[in-house]
Chains A and B, each alone.
Chain A
Amino acid sequence: MRIEYFQLIDRIVDLNLENRTIRCAATVPTESTIFEGHFPGYPLLPGVLLAETMAQTSGWLIIGLQRFAKMPFLAALKEAKFRTFVTPGQQLDITASLVHEGSGYAITDAKVEIDGKRICDATITFRVIDFPNPQFVTFMKDFAGKIEFPMDAVP
């Protein structure tokens, strides 16, 4: 996780476009300015960052299904539950599955687990629109390579 850059996914472990599922991995950093305030002497990964982690995981699934033709943007988070605290250094196992692919929007179910224990889950809605400019899609493809996105799965 590079929290300060909002790059919360370290690695795509599995992308299954046929089953419309994805699994990602991320390690919570041991140090971050965020932990200085959230909370002093009792560092916890903020729930909003767990929500964003689920959204980014879902987003890579949708990008894969769209073959980098369109970009998902977070639109709504429903039934989000944060069940357990997450602390620095923990390793997150994030999964998402596509619930529905509509015209211009998509809905996923996502969850985060640590050592097989569910930490949080949510149903997430995205607007799926054209990339606003060519540089954006180039950035996403470059970043995809850094997190081991299986480019051969999206010829």
Chain B
Amino acid sequence: MSSTFDTVAKIIAETCDIPRETIKPESHAIDDLGIDSLDFLDIAFAIDKAFGIKMPLEQWTQEVNEGKATTEQYFVLSNLSARIDELVAAKGV
């Protein structure tokens, strides 16, 4: 059974044509991998579909814009994977 990170990395590799081996848990989706907002919509759709969730991108963006959170909290892939796990767990409650 693959980990959440493995699934996310596979989605990013396939969606953005980025070599899988360059995608690491510490990679920042925007700063390190150069994923733009339009490509991130495709990634979000694939993640939503794969995990049966709805990532709260609007809320995350608002928190970053208001200085209540950093982009690292949501877009470093290990952190993104942790957020996804939380959303999946919340869904099961």
Interfacial chain B residues near A125, Cβ < 8 Å: 41-42, 45
- Take A100-B48, A100-B49, A102-B48 as given contacts and tell me if A75 and B41 are in contact as well, using a CB distance cutoff of 8 Å: yes
A-B contact count (CB 8 A): 35
Query: Is A102 a contact partner of B38 (Cβ separation < 8 A)?
Result: no
Chain A contact patch, size range:
10 to 19
Encode A70-83 as 1/0 by CB contact (under 8 A) with B.
00000110000000
Q: What is the bound-complex CA distance between A125 and B15, given in angstroms?
A: 14
- Any chain B CB within 8 A of the CB of A98? no
Which of B42, B49, B57 is within 8 Å of A103, CB to CB?
B57
> In the bound complex, how far is the Cα of B38 from the Cα of A105, in angstroms?
10
Residue on A nearest B57 in the bound complex, by CB: A103
Query: Which chain A positions have C-beta within 8 A of B58?
Result: 103-104
Asked if A102 meets B59 with Cβ closer than 8 Å, knowing A75-B38, A76-B38, the reply is: no
Beyond A75-B38, A101-B54, A125-B45, 7 additional contacts (C-beta under 8 Å) are A76-B41, A102-B41, A103-B54, A103-B55, A103-B57, A104-B57, A105-B41
- What are 10 of the A-B contact pairs (CB < 8 Å)? A75-B41, A76-B42, A100-B48, A102-B48, A103-B44, A104-B61, A105-B44, A105-B45, A125-B41, A125-B42
